[in-house]
Every structure is written in structure tokens, then in C-alpha cells.
Structure 1
Amino acid sequence: MSVLTPSPSPVLNLSAPDWNTVTQVSVTSGAYVADDGSVMLPTSVGLLQVSFHLSGLRLRIAGKSTANYEMLVQEPEIRPSLLSEGNQSTTITSDNNELIIQHNPFSFALSCDGKNVQKTPNDGHFVRQYRMPPLAKTAQGWLFSLDLGAEEAVYGLGEKWSSLNKRGQFIRSYNHDALGVNAEISYKNTPFAWSPEGWGVFVHTPAPVTHAVGYAPWSQRAYALLVEDDALDIFILKGKNGGEIIHQYTELTGKAPVPPVWSLGVILSKAYYKDVPELMATAKAVREHNMPCDVITLDGRAWQDTDTRFAFEWDPKRFANFPPDKVIADLKAMDFKVCIWEYPLVSVQNPLFAEMAKKGWLLTDKRTGEAYRYQWDMSAFAEVLTPLPESGIVDFTHPEAFAFWLESHKPLFDLGVDMIKADFGEQIEDDNMLAHNGDSGHRLHNVYSLLYNRCVYQAAEKYSKTGPFLFSRSAWTGSQRYPSQWGGDPQADWGGLIGSIRGALSWGMSGAPYFATDVGGFYKDTRDAELFVRWSQTAVFSAHMRLHGIGQREPWSYGSDAEKAVNQALKLRYQLIPYIQHTMQQASETGLPVMRAMALAFPDDRLARGFEIQFMFGDNLLVVPCTQAGGEVEFYLPEGQWLRFPEQQAFTGGKVHKLTLALDEMAVFVPATQQIPIGPDVLHTEQLEQPKIGQQVSHFWPIKDVKSL
């Protein structure tokens, strides 16, 4: 479920700013090597700290806020540096790295083993030396510029629905309740990007960051970052390819753990089951139809009273004759895991609001000193989306509030709940909001998602009986440590499917390895059976798989042909669990996503980059989603021999192919030299041999005399 929230802080002007009005930073004399090995350079705006670490360079200028949001899992070890200061420039060397900084105005050139890594753009102008300031302090924050080659691609920056190559785009790292996948705004952002040319950039900040990535109104030759914070903390990373740079980024911000095996099964959901009889009838029908499925979801109104939510209470009206413990026990008896919904707001109509407000556990209003009362924008509400009540917002920066919210999950897990769907988290948008740690709404807005994710995931770690797993919609730098995330609210049409695929791949290229979509689309459902089948077939090859939307998402609701095709795809999903587990173990060690865009999977193949909808699922499955009615697909196979999976039809790589797929067919390919482990045919993971799940393989495809993975 999703609703529109009040307008965010103003988006920056897309036209070119007046660079003549910006004061550029210059370096003054007196540089020195600090005790920790970093170099301190006095500048016209304060001390610039320069430090090298094994993966690259870090540039820092301190700000006022001392809030620590633990976006970094560790501070990188500083490598020793040598300093050589001249009248016009300063040279800093460390290991095989050299950084040359020009003083007036500040500019830089970073090289490794004599090869350029990054530098200030040589983007000249008749009036001034640089078209855009290399480094400047502006009214909105810090401006920092990087160089782009003529055909250089840039990837990352979170969950984005348009082209994976961000070259030419104007992107703001700012979480939104995006209400779909059709615009630049999105639920999951991180100011981390990388280039196949061997560098990455990561802005360590909770604040919004604007990225003009070769954006022509600013400069088609430069990547300009505007950091809307009073502190500046930028990492320039280096690596041979995207995989190496993602590894460096996730070494800083954290790797994702391997989720429990049951989470790899199918998650069934709906917005929403209107009452307990409908919920139980659906669960029974799933088993009667032999639909592979592991989890069933009680979305918002399926267990909470809308007027008084959220307070960890079962709706007394809905469950008056259906005790929650019995409902969950009955679902467990059918071998279902149970997922329930939450959000981090408390209705003013619930006594919990006054209790938390009195203790200072809600964000406060600067103007009154009282708990902030959040009012929803009602323009998005219709017949399906019920208007939501005025609410307080949990202040996760308050240690006691964090602990209270975490501990409040214990009764749910004790009851048998297995999984939390942590919805929303994008509502911190008003500078009148003030947190316990002193930060205002603007600076807290993005990182609030991380704090929310952390709290709920730690509750699952502490109390879940079946292994910690979280489904969250909103995320920020570091949220990959609390898996998994889903892409919210796509339109139920082919464009919604395409946007969801790009969102998954873009999020994966941003250091977050796990993603799920709302299979079938969330809103404006037209009961398009072909679309539902193709979306389901695509989602088989994602880290997690959830059927969800407004209206039924059970396969049989789309007709017998669709049910047959989807159940066939779901059966394959379960047979691939050994392969998925192996891929997730790899993700937890390297940061590589389960779904890998072609530019990430084939870094040396320039042609592969142009095919942005197809992707690799793990190391050996190349997936070509069908994204249009009629079953036609056009795709590119990299060099080598390939076999179609599971048909074993041979294809030659290094060129483009076309196929027309029957409704129950998929376009999936495996390098002819590789094998795919195939697990047993089951309807849910309880039918697997749990102690040996990691090694449980029935056979390998294609059948050969192989004894181990």
C-alpha cells in the first residue's frame, strides 16, 4: 500500500545555475601530515582532510552535526602519505597513488600507477577557468565536480526506473513515496555511483545529494555533485570493474547476510484480504491448486485498524471471533510462514501516541516543542486507499524509542509471525521536524529509512524463531545490511514490468543484492493474464518473489492457461533454490547482486551494455524477460556457445537473436560449459531436508556425470 506524502523540499533548478555567483574553494598555505597519516590542507572554507585507504581516496571537511548514523560499518584504515607543498600546488603520494591539488582555485588529479583515476573536469569557459567550480560552498551545500570521458557510462544511485546508464540524467538522492515506477523519484536511494572506466564515487552523508551526470544544461563533460549538507565527506573508489567497486563500497557500508531459505519461496500477498475467512480460504485454495508457496501476508488493514494504527495491536473488530494465535496456528498447520505489515507512525487517536509523546519518543515540532502531528496529503486516496489519520512519527534517534519499538515486536514473533513488511519511512520532509539527536527533518529524511530498517531487522534477529528476514520499501546507504527490499507500487501494465526490472538492476548496481517486485503490478489492474504470466516468469529469477497488488494475485484468478504457465514457473523457482542459495552466499561475500545487469556481468563487452532489460541471474543464467504482448523477445548473447534453459537448444554468442515465446515458455540461457544445480520438486520449503538444504541437489542440468556443485 502507498499514499502520497506532502511535497518534499524544493527540487533544484534543472537549468544551469549562474556559476559566476558561486565562490570557489582555494587552498591556502600550511598543509601538514596529521598523526593518523592523513593530510590536512587549509582552505578558504576550513580544513580539508585528505586520506588514502586501500580502495581509494577520501576528502573531508567537517560540519556542525555530530550525529552518527552508522552508515559505515567501519572506518577505513588510513595509509601513510608523503606531502610535497609548492606555491601553486600540493602533491600527496601514498603507496602507488598520487594526488595533485592545484591551489587557486582548488582542482585535483588522482592517479594510480601513473594512470588517471579521476580528476577535475577540463571544462573550460571564456569567462573563467572552469565552466563549473571544481569545489565550492554554495547556499545549498557543497558542489564537487568529476570528469567524464566522451562515451563514459555511469551506473548506480539507487533504485531508478529509467536507463541504467545515468549519463545525461539529473538525479536527486532523496527518498520519496513514489507512487509507482514512472518518474525519477524512487523509494530507495544512495549517493554511490561507478563507471566501467575504473572509478566510483560515494558521498557519505544522510542529506540529499543532487547528481548532474553529464547533464547538458550544467555540463555534458562533467559529473557535478551538490551535497546538501554542511559537512563534506566524499570517497573516490577505484577498481578494475563495477564488481570490484561495488565490493569496495560494501566493505565500507556493509554486506547483506544470507536470508533464511524459506524466504526464497513464493510470498503471496494482496492489498488486502478483507477478513479472516477470505484469508483462510485463500490459504486453503493455494494448497488445493498445488501452487508452490511459502509465505502468506496480512497487509495493513488485514490486521490493523486504520484509524488507530500503528500500535502492534490486532484489530479487535476484525479478530473478535478469530483469535490471532489460532489464525496463525491454522496457517502454520498448512505449512505457511506468516508476514505482517507495519509502518513507523502512530495515530493520534491511539493512547500510545500520548504515551510516546510524553516520553519524547516521537519527532517534535520545532514551533511548539510538542510531538509533531503528521498530516497525510489526501489527494492520492481513492476507494481502495483509505484516508489515514493524523499521526506521530517514531524518533529512532532516541535510544529509548528505538528499544521500545524493537521490543514491541516480541509478542508478534512469540505468536508465530515470521516476517515483517516494513512499509513507508519516507515521511520525514519538514524542517520543522526535530529529532532527539538534534538533526532536523531535511538532514534526517533519507537516513530515517536506515534507522527504521535497522530497528525492525534487529527485532527479527532477536526474536524470530525461523531466522531474521525483513521486507522494506524505503532504504538508504547501508540498508542492504537488513534484507530484503521490494520495489513499490508499479502500474499493472507492461511499462510497470519494465520499470520494475530496471529498478531491481539499478538497486543491485548500487550495492544492494536482494530485490523483489509486486508481481502483476500494484495498481490499475486490468486482469491481463499474459502480463501476469510474463511478470511471474521474470520474477522467478529475482532474489525474492512476491505476488502482490490491489486485487487477487493468485494464478488461478487469471484463468486456467495462466495458472498452468505460472505454476510451471513457480515450480522451477523452487528447483533453483540450491542455485539461488549459492548466489546469495556469493552476494554476502562480494556485494554482487543476485540480478546482474549486463554492464556489471560483462564489463569488457561494450555491446552488452546496450541491452538493459536482460540480465544475469547469478553467474550462469542469462534471463531475457518478455516485456510485450505476443511473446516476441530480442536479445544479445555475449561471445561463446550458449544453451537454452531448459530446452538445450544451442545458440551462438556475439550477436543478437529473436524468439517468439509460447505463454509457458521463457528465454533463459546458460553458457555451454556450465551446469545448473536442480533441487527437488516441492510445494514449499518445509518439504526440503532442512539440515542439508545448502547441499540439496537432485541433479544437474544438463545431465552429466557430476557429483558435486
Structure 2
Amino acid sequence: MKFTEGMWCLREGVRIEWMSNVERLRVENETVYILLNKHQRHRGDTLNSRQVNDSTYYHLNTTSGHTNITHDNLANKLKYTSGPLALDINTTANELDFVFCSLSGKKLTGHSFRSIGYVADQRTEAHRYEDGLYAAKQGYMLAELDLSVGEKVYGLGERFGPFAKNGQTVNIWNEDGGTSSELAYKNIPFYISSNGYGVFINHPGKVSLEVQSERTTRVNISVPDEEIEYFIVYGDSPKDILRRYTTLTGRPALVPSWSYNLWLTTSFTTNYDEQTVTAFLNGFRDRDIPLGVFHFDCFWMKSYQWCDFQFDEEMFPDPVGYLKRLKGRGLRISVWINPYVAQASPLFEEGKKNGYFIKRIDGSVWQWDFWQAGMAIVDFTNPAACTWFSTHLERLMDIGVDSFKTDFAERIPVKGIKYHNGANPVRMHNYYALLYNRIVYETVSARVGPNQGLLFARSTAPGGQAYPVHWGGDCESTFEAMAESLRGGLSLMLCGYIFWASDIGGFEGTPSPALYKRWVQFGLFSSHSRLHGSSSFRVPWIYGEDCSIVLRDCVKRKILLTPYILAEALRGHRDGTPLMRALFLEFPKDLNTYAIDTQYMFGSNLLVAPVFNEAGEVTFYVPKTEEGTGKWTSWFDHSKSYVGGQWYTETHDFATMPILIRPGSVIMTNPKLKTPEEDALDGIQLLVNGTLPAESVVEIVNPGQTDQPAHRHRKIHFDSAHGTAGTGSGSEERRGRLSHLVYLEQEDDDD
């Protein structure tokens, strides 16, 4: 939110008390307590100041024992170090200054002149001039962090606009706004700076950021509150920053291997019944297109009764038998839900009677008609309501449902309501998504075990990486929407999330055959892949049988890459590095990578550049590797190589796209696999591009338990000097030449 008019003037109706003086300072153990106040001319300036209040915050993990504090009273300097990060504070009277820096002395950011303040804003409906001294004002805490020359800011959740957030106003407030505006479903108050640090604002209310858009040398952060808490996260690389951030907010959970299969949905408003679904499944079988998950979108329930958690008996007269038949085809089952209960639902009266819904101040159930007629919202701060909701999910799991698409949770009211636990409604608006996803995720996980459950969630908040997977929401069926979806996914995955998907083909509208095929290529090089639309189906043959061929090839390619995907996901689970990642996350020393948002790394070693036009033309950048040697190799043509640090323009038919293998890397594949759940070791092939480090290791993950190494062998070791590879388990190791070791030879030339 903007409060100023240029450097010196405030907007009409705004008053800011700038903190510029250290009134008191106290050190206890690892904590420094500083009382800041406005400019002090005399003792009278200590009057009419603010005091903080306590309320809801996100859960954080804490550690101790890594800090050091030195205070030089004579020089009026305090230095606080935590690990590799230092904070220097100038405590001279009326000369407050904060500088966050690395231990080597490099400034990262800080608070300079007039950058911490309390804002009293009378631009509110509650302000009445005639109330005089008692006229209501909205209070804000304001913290402005310095930006250096050329510094760029990334992240802040799933944002669909320009990838670098400089010049933007970003409000951390979950909204159901589609994917083509400043509104977003997944707002995370965390950003990564190109200057080598991250910032996490621990506030579940509406955090507003003016990213070089109010002051061109600062990120201005404001919250409608009397306190603000933020963390500076420093690391020696963007990956290290994510590792530290997810240490603070929680590591991402893993998902079962079957979820990497292709998902097919009924689409949203289409008419479908058992006969329709069966025809689709037969079409996939007859065309040899592997399909692993079938999803029933909202009209599996009777209209006007969402959610009652009952199959519509007119469309599905025998749901138990039908799900059993689907499971007999080897499919997993997902169904759509949301946290709302319409008044026509048989569950409404039960929820109302037992106090399971969010209430108005007068104690009545809060209801509205904007989605389902007379709908109420489940109050997940009520333990009894959570148990009630969970019981209905368990009943569905009993008949064969494996996962739930947790839609909505953004339209959460903030005025005139109360929660069971008395929580602040404004602070609960974003936080609600966490509670919703958590109860569903924990219900599923209780049945299948840790790191084996998953959702398909639309909304989230900090810490939501513990309840995967998340998908991009309602995008249009255009190439531009495909590109904005990628920007949104890459932004989210700079905030601790390692899995993400989009609606292949776009949600709103009907894709052209060319768009369908290009989105299929992109969607099958996403962590999760789902064919989904609004008013039209997404089965490939209705767009042309050539679309079926493209889909079949892409699905089989992703299954072939299962060993690689499982290993990269396990790495993300351990350190927060996403499966799909912005180029600068992998190549931070190559400054050209920071501006690129139309391509990405899929894991550590595969570069993917989707095609965003009908003509098939694509311009892409090949990063410089830190090793600086070796050439990138085309996945489709191993004789074709690329030099790092250069741009290329190519035209691709629908059989290919730019997929490049990193020099000095190993890609694990298994052409024998029919599904991701099968034995990863039986038939494994290792693609080696160029010269490997002296002793390289790749880890094989157990598809049956994706947080564990394969049961027979933990790792494969390479000795590039002798062209050998071997497998080992624990201390035992065997070496020998492997017939399934494939070296991608490259010619040495000057081109």
C-alpha cells in the first residue's frame, strides 16, 4: 500500500511516525530487545506512541546456539550474527540504521533513513471528522528494505505477471481471480533477491509490498497491524536460501510414485455419466496412452448440494461397483471437493445444529449465494468440525477414492464473523487454506502412511508445501495463458514448493489442436500432469488423432524418466529445491538467467523450453555451467550439441521441443517401465553427457516408498577415469562395467 507522494510528502489523510531512535537496548541470551521510537527532541516526544499486540502467526521451526552479539557502547554499534548473516545496528541517538550483510562484509539490504514506521491512515470508512480526537484511523506497520543497483526480486507465491516483481504492487491476499491478473490463489510473503538473500514476512493477514513501485530504491512492506515480524534468510546460493527458508517454514512432503502418471478429469461443467467415462478410458486403452489417475470433478455430486460427498445416483447408480471396476483397470481415483456446504445439502442442517460452520457475530450461520445457494463454510478451527469433515472423506476412501482435489478456500469472509477458537477473521483469510488442506492431507496420510498421500490443491499459504500437490487454477486456452501459467509455477516454486501442475489445454475455452499439443509437451514435463478443462473435454482424439500420438509419446517419455524424477523429488524433500526450477536457481552465476521465464530446468540436468506459438518457433537460452566445460546435448538427437552462454532459435514439429541434457551429468531412465510404480532398477539406463566429476553418484529411489532409496541398491557410483560404474548398498560396493551405461559422444569443434 502506498502512503507517500514522492520522497518528502505524505498522502492526504496519512501520518507516519518514523522510528529513528534507539530508546533502550537489552541483551538476553541470544535475543536483542530494542525499544525504537520517533525522533527525540526532548522527553515529551516519548508520549503518544504505540504498543504491540499478539495474534496468530505461521508455525515456524526454531533452533538455537548459532548467534553472537557484540555491543560497543562507546561507538554506538551493535553487531548480531546468526550463522553466515550479520546485522549491524547504529544505536547513535536519532541516527538509527540497520545493515544486513554477509560475514565477508557485503551489504545485502537494510533500513536506512525513514524506513521503519507506524502509519495512522484516516482514509477509511470508519473515519468521521466530527469525532475529532477520537476519529478512527487504520494503523499499519511499515518496514522498507533497501534495494541495491540492478537488484531483482522474485517469488511471492504463484504470481502470473512479470517474473521479476520490480515495479509491482503485490498484495498477499488469496483470491479466486484466475491466472491473468494481479490476483492469485497462492500468496506467499517470501521473496528471493538476486543480491543473495530472501525475506519472509511472518504475518497471515494482508501483507502489501511495493516492490520498487513507491520508493525506487526499496521494497516497502506494510501490514494492517501494530507489529510486523520478518526474517532475512541468507545463503551462499539461491538453493541454499530455499534450504534455509524451508528449514524455517517446513520441508516439502513427498508424494506416491503413482501420482506422476497422467491424470484425466471429467472437466468442470460437462455432462458425463458412467458410460461417458468408460468410453474415454477405452479410448486411452485402444490408443496405448498410459493413464494412471481418473478424476471426478464437481458434478459427481448432485447440483445445488455441493458438498454432500455423495455420488449423484442418477449419473452413477452404483458408485461402489463402478469405482471397483475403475480400480480393476489399474486406475487411482480422485474426486473434487471444497470446504463449502450448500443449504440444499443433506449435511447442512447437521453442520448448523452442531456448530460446524463459520458464524456471524450474532451466532447465526454465515451464508451467501456466491457459488452455491445458501452455502456455509466449514470452521476448521473447531476440532469437532474437522472430525466430521474427515469422517466423510474416510467414507469415500473406503469405497476406493485415493485423493481429493481441494478446490477453493479463497472466498473466506472477514467482516462480521467469528470462528470457534476466536481467531482474528482477517488473519484467518489466508490461513484458512492451510487448515483446509491439512485436515484433508492428514486424513489421507493416516490411511496410506507418510509421504504417500497427496491432494490437488488450488490455494495455500506459507507452510503449505507440507500438503502437496498444488495446481495453477483457472487459466485460459491460449498460448499466452500457457506462458503465464509457467511464470506462476516458477514463482511459487521459489517459495518452498517442489510440485506444481497446470490444466493441460487450458481451463477456460477450447484449445486449438496446436495449443493442445504444445501444452501436452509442457504439461508432461511438469511434476504432475492433468488433462482438465471447463466446458469441453480434454481427451486428445477430439482434437485430432495426431494429438493422441503426441500425448502417447509425452506420457511414455515421462514414465521412462521415473528414476530421475523420483531422485530429484527426494532431493527437493530434503532441501526445498523444486522439481521445476527457474534457470537462475540452478545457474546463479550466469547473470543472463535471471530474466528468463519461458524455460526452466526439470530437475538438475534437463533444460526444457516449451513452444508458445502455432508456428513451432522457439528462442531459448543455454546457460553457462559453473564448470565451464562440455556441451549441452539434445534429448532427441544426441549428435546435436549446444554451447553454454548462447541463444538459439529453432523450429520444432510436434514430435520434439528443446530438451537439453546438461554437460557433465547423468540422467537415469528406464524404458521397460509401463507405470511409475514399477521396479526402477529392472532395466535402468544411465545417459552420461560428457566428462563426469572424478567420483559421481546417482541415487535410486524406491517407487513404493518415495522417501527411501531402492531396497536393493542405494546408489550407483561412477569412475569416469576408467569408464566404469558400480552399485553399492551401505558399505558394500561392487564395481564393473554396466551394459546399460550410455555415453553421449560429442564431436570437438569450434562452432
Scaled by the length of structure 1, the TM-score of the pair is: 0.87
Give percent identity, aligned residues only.
29
8 Å Cα contact 2:563/2:668 also seen in 1: yes
Within 2, Cα distance between the matches of 1:432 and 1:106?
A: 41
Residue number in structure 2 paired with 1:493: 478
Within 2, Cα distance between the matches of 1:200 and 1:166?
A: 14
Residue in structure 1 matching 2:10, options 13, 18, 42: 18
8 Å Cα contact 2:58/2:463 also seen in 1: no
User: Which is worse superposed, 84-93 or 420-429?
Assistant: 84-93
Residue number in structure 2 paired with 1:262: 258
1:346 aligned partner, one-letter code:
V
Report deviation, 1:30. 3.2
User: Which is worse superposed, 578-587 or 273-282?
Assistant: 273-282
Change (3 A) 1:231 1:530: same
Change (3 A) 1:440 1:292: same
Q: Does 1:675 align with 2:670?
A: no
Q: Secondary structure at the match of 2:405?
A: strand
Residue in structure 2 matching 1:82, options 58, 69, 80: 69
1:317 aligned partner, one-letter code:
E
Change (3 A) 1:140 1:634: farther
Residue in structure 1 matching 2:53, options 60, 64, 74: 64
8 Å Cα contact 1:106/1:135 also seen in 2: no
Report deviation, 1:119. 4.0
Report deviation, 1:682. 4.6
Q: Secondary structure at the match of 1:471?
A: coil
Could you list the per-position Cα deviations for residues 61-91 of structure 1 after superposition, in whole angstroms to 9, with x for gaps in the alignment?
Answer: 9953444653x2x223264543537599551
Q: How does 1:300-319 map to 2 (within 5 A)?
A: 300-301=298-299, 303-319=300-316
Q: How does 1:261-280 map to 2 (within 5 A)?
A: 261-269=257-265, 270-271=267-268, 272=270, 274-280=272-278
Residue number in structure 1 paired with 2:118: 136
Residue in structure 1 matching 2:210, options 196, 209, 212: 212
Q: Secondary structure at the match of 2:569?
A: helix
8 Å Cα contact 1:583/1:619 also seen in 2: yes
Within 1, Cα distance between the matches of 2:34 and 2:354?
A: 45
Within 2, Cα distance between the matches of 1:222 and 1:419?
A: 44
Could you tell me which runs of 5 or more consecutive residues in structure 2 were left unpaired when the two chains were aligned: 39-49, 121-137, 625-629, 690-722, 728-740, 742-751
Report deviation, 1:28. 4.6
Q: How does 1:409-424 map to 2 (within 5 A)?
A: 409-424=393-408
Q: How does 1:173-572 map to 2 (within 5 A)?
A: 173-179=172-178, 181-215=179-213, 218-269=214-265, 270-271=267-268, 272=270, 274-301=272-299, 303-319=300-316, 322-366=317-361, 368-376=362-370, 388-464=372-448, 467-525=452-510, 527-550=511-534, 551-572=536-557
Report deviation, 1:541. 1.5
Within 2, Cα distance between the matches of 1:656 and 1:113?
A: 37
Residue number in structure 2 paired with 1:599: 584
Residue in structure 2 matching 1:701, options 683, 687, 703: 687
Change (3 A) 1:15 1:601: farther
Residue number in structure 1 paired with 2:646: 655
Report deviation, 1:705. 6.5
Residue number in structure 2 paired with 1:40: 33
1:108 aligned partner, one-letter code:
F
Report deviation, 1:696. 4.8
Q: Does 1:614 align with 2:626?
A: no
8 Å Cα contact 2:26/2:33 also seen in 1: yes
Within 2, Cα distance between the matches of 1:575 and 1:160?
A: 31
Q: Secondary structure at the match of 2:574?
A: helix
Change (3 A) 1:231 1:485: same
Aligned-CA RMSD value: 2.5
Report deviation, 1:230. 3.7
Q: How does 1:139-154 map to 2 (within 5 A)?
A: 139-154=138-153
Q: Does 1:100 align with 2:89?
A: yes
8 Å Cα contact 2:264/2:291 also seen in 1: yes
Could you tell me which runs of 5 or more consecutive residues in structure 1 were left unpaired when the two chains were aligned: 1-10, 46-60, 123-128, 377-386
Change (3 A) 1:79 1:31: farther
Q: Secondary structure at the match of 1:281?
A: helix
Report deviation, 1:12. 6.6
Q: Secondary structure at the match of 1:487?
A: coil
Could you list the per-position Cα deviations for residues 183-235 of structure 1 after superposition, in whole angstroms to 9, with x for gaps in the alignment?
Answer: 111111110011121211101111111111111xx111111111233432111
Report deviation, 1:287. 1.2
Q: Secondary structure at the match of 2:219?
A: strand
Change (3 A) 1:408 1:400: same
8 Å Cα contact 1:423/1:472 also seen in 2: yes
Could you list the per-position Cα deviations for residues 140-163 of structure 1 after superposition, in whole angstroms to 9, with x for gaps in the alignment?
Answer: 421101111120011110001122
8 Å Cα contact 1:117/1:198 also seen in 2: no
2:154 aligned partner, one-letter code:
Y
Q: Secondary structure at the match of 1:262?
A: helix
Within 1, Cα distance between the matches of 2:682 and 2:670?
A: 6
Within 2, Cα distance between the matches of 1:30 and 1:707?
A: 63
Change (3 A) 1:707 1:632: farther
User: Which is worse superposed, 149-158 or 636-645?
Assistant: 636-645
Within 1, Cα distance between the matches of 2:70 and 2:411?
A: 46
Report deviation, 1:674. 2.0
Residue number in structure 1 paired with 2:559: 574
Report deviation, 1:313. 2.0
8 Å Cα contact 1:38/1:78 also seen in 2: no
Within 2, Cα distance between the matches of 1:12 and 1:337?
A: 49
2:293 aligned partner, one-letter code:
V
Q: Secondary structure at the match of 2:184?
A: coil
2:632 aligned partner, one-letter code:
W
8 Å Cα contact 2:58/2:202 also seen in 1: no
Aligned length: 650
Residue number in structure 2 paired with 1:126: none
8 Å Cα contact 2:3/2:10 also seen in 1: no
Report deviation, 1:452. 0.7
Within 2, Cα distance between the matches of 1:289 and 1:259?
A: 28
1:374 aligned partner, one-letter code:
W
**Higher RCO (CA < 8 A, seq sep 6+):** 1
Change (3 A) 1:114 1:574: closer
Within 1, Cα distance between the matches of 2:434 and 2:682?
A: 35
Within 2, Cα distance between the matches of 1:661 and 1:556?
A: 22
Runs of 4+ in structure 1 off by over 6 angstroms are 11-17
Report deviation, 1:333. 0.9
Within 1, Cα distance between the matches of 2:94 and 2:383?
A: 45
8 Å Cα contact 1:578/1:697 also seen in 2: no
Q: Secondary structure at the match of 1:470?
A: coil
8 Å Cα contact 2:211/2:218 also seen in 1: yes
User: Which is worse superposed, 339-348 or 696-705?
Assistant: 696-705
1:99 aligned partner, one-letter code:
D
Could you list the per-position Cα deviations for residues 358-392 of structure 1 after superposition, in whole angstroms to 9, with x for gaps in the alignment?
Answer: 322211112x221111330xxxxxxxxxx622211
Residue number in structure 2 paired with 1:645: 635
Q: Secondary structure at the match of 2:176?
A: coil
Within 1, Cα distance between the matches of 2:227 and 2:373?
A: 36
1:586 aligned partner, one-letter code:
R
Residue number in structure 2 paired with 1:172: 171
**Structure showing greater Rg:** 2
8 Å Cα contact 1:33/1:83 also seen in 2: no
Residue number in structure 2 paired with 1:110: 100
Report deviation, 1:412. 1.1
Q: Secondary structure at the match of 1:612?
A: coil
User: Which is worse superposed, 667-676 or 615-624?
Assistant: 667-676
Within 2, Cα distance between the matches of 1:107 and 1:176?
A: 37
Within 1, Cα distance between the matches of 2:69 and 2:644?
A: 49
